[in-house]
Structure formats: C-alpha cells, structure tokens
C-alpha cells in the first residue's frame, strides 16, 4: 500500500500515482514547500535570540517593549523657556530640540513683542519675536515698504511683470549652461552650509538689480539687452546656495528670486 508523503500513513487508492491520503495532506504539503525558513536575530536591547520571517530581516528587537526601552534610553529633563517648568525630552521629540512644555508656552514665546525701527521712515515699531529673528528690514506700512523698499531698491513694484521677465530669462539655453557650470564648479553643494539638497544658483549682483539697470520698464522687447549684459552670465557673479540660504540672502530684496 502507498504511504502518504505528509502524514506517513498507509492508505488505499484506486488512482495510479497518488501521493497523499487526503486533500488536507496535499494542501499542507504544498504550503510547507512554499514556506520560507525563519531568520534568527539577536535583540539589540536584551540580547536574546529570536526568529523572524524573511520579510522582517531588518528587525532589531524581539518585541515592542524592548524597542520602546531602547528608544527611551536617552530620556532627560530640560526646562521650558517660557514658564521654566521641567520638560521630558525623549526619543519622540529630541530631534526637534523641544524647548516648551505646551503649545500655549510656544505661542506665548514667539508672540513676544520686540521693539525695532522702521527701515523706511524711522518710526518705532513693535513686532513679533519670530519675525524679528527672520527678517532684517521692517516697514510700518505697505505704502512705506513700496516707497522706501521696493521703489528705492529696484525702481519698480510690478511683481507679475517681473516674474514673467525672470522666467523668460531663466529658461534660455545660455542661462541653463551657466547654471550647470556653477553647480559643477561648487561640487553640487551649498557654499554656506554644505548641503546638497534643494540647490539654487544665485546671482551675487542680484537679477533684480541687473534688470533695473538694463530694463527698468520691464519690457519684454528689451529681453536681449538683459540677456547680453556682462553681469547676467558672468561665472564670477554666480554662487550655489540651498533653498534656505538663498531665501536668507534675499530678505532685503523681496522681489528678487534669483
């Protein structure tokens, strides 16, 4: 009598070539053949040996309790900047360098008013602390900003027309070749912070200043005048910045984005 390959028991069968005593044994044998062997790992926290399925080959802990204990190993106590209460800093918030015990303390601190002077007319102002730490020029009104900021610096305030002109200039083949050269020269890294993420090529003599000099009316007919200017494609006038450093360099030039 034939012997079942799964349960190793004898069975009677009228079918020639049959290998299993039942459909259940046949299914179990096929599932066993498809199953992959478990991988043995050592827990990082408790150093115990455990087994995982092949798709979890990167597992480091034998259980959730060991994972939480490992992540909380560097927990320490700091103090809230606003109310001076103790703040527990652990694996969840250590990356953000937690400085506040609650959202209320955070908003209270960034909402603290500091006294500055208007960059246009010299009028004393009281602005939020967060704004004072980010910008380097402040204006009392929109009209003051236009009169003493935009017009005085660039000679124009038509941002949509400026953006259209800038996009035309920055899509030319000569500009793209100049941009590639600057990036390659600076090894595709920001010259300020050294990062390689979100890179921008910046004109030292800003593009807004070049446009003001050669095309103050923002006319598309004078596009070639700006494009053929010595400052526009000068390799010594270009430098690589990341997006953050690029924005910082333009705090005093709101319209210039290159």
H/E stretch holding 126: strand 124-128
State residue 78's pLDDT score. Answer: 79
DSSP state of 149: I
- Percentage of the chain beyond pLDDT 70 is 86
Q: Where residue 151 falls among pLDDT bands split at 50, 70, 90?
A: low
Whether residue 225 has pLDDT greater than 50 = yes
CA atoms within 13 A on the CB side of 53: 3
| Residue reference for tokens 């480091």 | 60
Whether residue 170 has pLDDT greater than 80 = yes
Which residues touch 7 (CB under 8 Å, ≥6 apart)? 21, 25
DSSP state of 254: T
Cα angle 53, 56, 59; round to 5: 120
CA distance 237 to 205: 6
Q: Where residue 42 falls among pLDDT bands split at 50, 70, 90?
A: very high
Whether residue 258 has pLDDT greater than 60 = no
State residue 98's pLDDT score. Answer: 66
Whether residue 17 has pLDDT greater than 70 = yes
Among the ranges given (9-23, 180-194, 241-255), the one the predictor scored with the smallest mean pLDDT: 241-255
CA distance 117 to 132: 11
More confident residue, 33 or 200: 200
Whether residue 215 has pLDDT greater than 60 = yes
CA distance 206 to 154: 10
Q: What is the pLDDT of residues 181-201, one digit of tens each?
A: 998 898 888 888 888 888 888
Q: Which two tokens stand for residue 133?
A: 């730490």
State residue 253's pLDDT score. Answer: 40
Least Cα distance to 116 among 135, 144, 103 occurs for: 135
Least Cα distance to 227 among 151, 160, 182, 171 occurs for: 171
Q: Which two tokens stand for residue 250?
A: 């333009």
State residue 243's pLDDT score. Answer: 83
DSSP state of 235: G
Whether residue 37 has pLDDT greater than 50 = yes
Among the ranges given (54-63, 157-166, 224-233), the one the predictor scored with the smallest mean pLDDT: 157-166
| Residue reference for tokens 């700006």 | 226
Cα 221 to Cα 17, 159, 164, 165, 215, distances in angstroms: 88, 18, 13, 10, 9
Whether residue 156 has pLDDT greater than 70 = no
Pairing of β 113-117 and β 49-52 = unpaired
In the chain, where the domains are located: 76-110, 116-153, 159-249
């Amino acid at each position: 009598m034939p012997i079942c390959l799964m349960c190793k028991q004898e069975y009677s069968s009228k079918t020639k070539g049959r290998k299993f005593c039942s459909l259940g044994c046949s299914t179990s044998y096929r599932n066993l053949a498809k199953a992959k062997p478990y991988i043995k790992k050592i827990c990082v926290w408790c150093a115990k040996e455990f087994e995982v399925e092949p798709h979890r080959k990167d597992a480091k802990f034998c259980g959730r309790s060991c994972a939480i204990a490992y992540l909380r190993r560097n927990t320490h106590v700091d103090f809230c900047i606003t109310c001076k209460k103790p703040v527990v800093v652990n694996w969840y918030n250590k990356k953000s360098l937690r400085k506040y015990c609650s959202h209320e303390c955070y908003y209270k601190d960034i909402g603290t008013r500091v006294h500055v002077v208007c960059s246009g007319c010299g009028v004393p102002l009281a602005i939020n602390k967060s704004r004072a730490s980010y910008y380097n020029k402040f204006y009392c009104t929109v009209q003051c900003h236009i009169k003493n900021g935009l017009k005085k610096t660039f000679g124009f305030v038509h941002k949509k027309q400026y953006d259209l002109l800038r996009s035309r200039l920055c899509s030319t083949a000569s500009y793209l070749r100049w941009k590639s050269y600057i990036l390659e020269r600076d090894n595709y890294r920001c010259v300020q912070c050294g990062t390689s993420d979100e890179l921008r090529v910046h004109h030292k003599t800003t593009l807004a200043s070049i446009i003001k000099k050669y095309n103050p009316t923002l006319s598309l007919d004078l596009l070639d005048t700006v494009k053929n200017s010595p400052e526009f494609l000068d390799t010594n006038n270009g430098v690589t910045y990341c997006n953050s450093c690029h924005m910082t360099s333009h705090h005093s030039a709101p319209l210039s984005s290159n």
